[in-house]
Structure 1
Amino acid sequence: MGDQLEWRRCQKPTDINSIRKVESYFGIRFPEKFIEVTLKCHSGTVLPNAFYVEDRGDVVLNDFLSFDPEDDLYIIQTYKNIKDRLIENIYPFVNDASGDCLCFDYREGDIEPKVVLWDHEEAFLDKEKGIFPVCDSFEELLLLLENEGY
C-alpha cells in the first residue's frame, strides 16, 4: 500500500520523539502508516497528489505538515491558526492547493481516525458544513491517491 506513490521535496528528517510530542499536545495517537510515511518523507509532497471528493470536487494536495517547531508548516501552529473554525477532535496533517487541509477525524474514537477535508471557506460560515468525508483511514487515502490520482 502506497508503493506506487512517489514522495518528493522531503524536508529535514524528523524522529519519533517529535511525533510523540505532537500526539501528546493533541491527546491522540497518529495512525502507524502515517508515522511510517512521516519518518520516510518528513513534510514532503506526494505524487499522484489529486483525487475527487463527493460534494466538494477535486482536491490537490500540497505539503504534509511538519513536526519541526521552526518550520512555517509546523502542525501545531497550523492547528492553532485554524482551531477556531475546526470541530473538536479534528486535526490537520496536510494542506491542499486551495488553502484547505486534510485532517484526521477522531470524533468516533482514537483507534483509527477517518480522513476528512476541512474547507476553510465553508468552515468560516459553519464549522460542521466545512467538513467533507474523504475515507475511513490514512491507508485508504494512500490507495485513493494510487487509484484515482491524476
Structure 2
Amino acid sequence: MNIRWEPYVWKESHPAAPAEIAELEAAWGVQLPEEYKQLAPQHQGMRPTPNVFDIGESDNAFTCLLTLSLEESKEGYAIPTRYSIIKPYVPSGIFPFGMTPGGESICFDYREVPPGQPRIVLVTTEMEVYLIANNFREFLTGLHELRD
C-alpha cells in the first residue's frame, strides 16, 4: 500500500534533523524501528492517506505523526508533550509517535519484545492500552480507507 503524506501540523513539509531521532532513542533508552527512523524526520507532523486502522472489531484514524521537533506553538503535537501526558498512567516501555482525532495516542510498546521490534498499541484517553499491530511495518501496511 502506498501512503501519501500531507501537511497537518504545519502548512508545508517541516523535516526534522536526523540527530532528533538519536536524541529520542537516548532519552527513552530504546532502539526505534528502522522504518520509523526513515519516515519520521521527513514526515513529522504530517497526516497519512489512507489513515484508517483496525482496532478489534472497530476502526480508528491516524490523524498525524507526532513531531520530533518541540515548537512552542505546536507543542500539543510534539512527542515530548504527549509522552509527559501518558507516562504516569501507562506501563513503562510505551512511547507515543502518533495521535487520533479523539486525542488518543498511537504508541510503540517495548514490553516483552526484541530490541527495535516494538508492537503498536493505542492508548485511549482513559489510559487503556489496546494492541493494534505486531510491528510498525504491519501497522503502516494495515492502513486503509474507511469501509462502508
Q: Shorter chain as normaliser: what TM range?
A: 0.7 to 0.9
- Taking the aligned partners of 2:21 and 2:116, their CA distance within structure 1 comes to 17
Match of 2:39 in 1: 37
Partner-residue secondary structure (3-state), 1:21: helix
Alignment partners' CA distance in 2, 1:76 and 1:40:
18
The ranges of structure 1 where at least 4 consecutive aligned residues each deviate by more than 4 angstroms after the TM superposition are none
1:119 matched residue in structure 2: 124
Unaligned runs of 5+ in 2: none
Q: 1:52-98, CA deviations, whole angstroms, 9 ceiling, x for partnerless residues?
A: 2105x221111111111224122112101221121110001000011
- Other-structure match for 2:54: 52
Structure 2-normalised TM-score? 0.86
- In structure 2, the partner of 1:61 is 62
Q: Which of 98, 106, 117 is matched with 2:110 structurally?
A: 106
Displacement of 1:40 in angstroms is: 2.7
Partner residue, 1:139: 137
Q: What one-letter code is carried by the residue in structure 1 that aligns with 2:4?
A: E
- Secondary structure in 1 matching 2:62: strand
Q: Which one-letter code corresponds to 2:69 in the other structure?
A: D
Measured in 2, the distance between the counterparts of 1:43 and 1:108 equals: 29
State, as a whole percentage, how many aligned pairs show the same letter: 25
Normalization by structure 1: what TM-score?
0.85
Q: Which has the higher helix share?
A: 1
CA distance in 2, matches of 1:117, 1:59: 10
**RMSD between aligned alpha carbons?**
1.5
Unaligned runs of 5+ in 1: 124-129
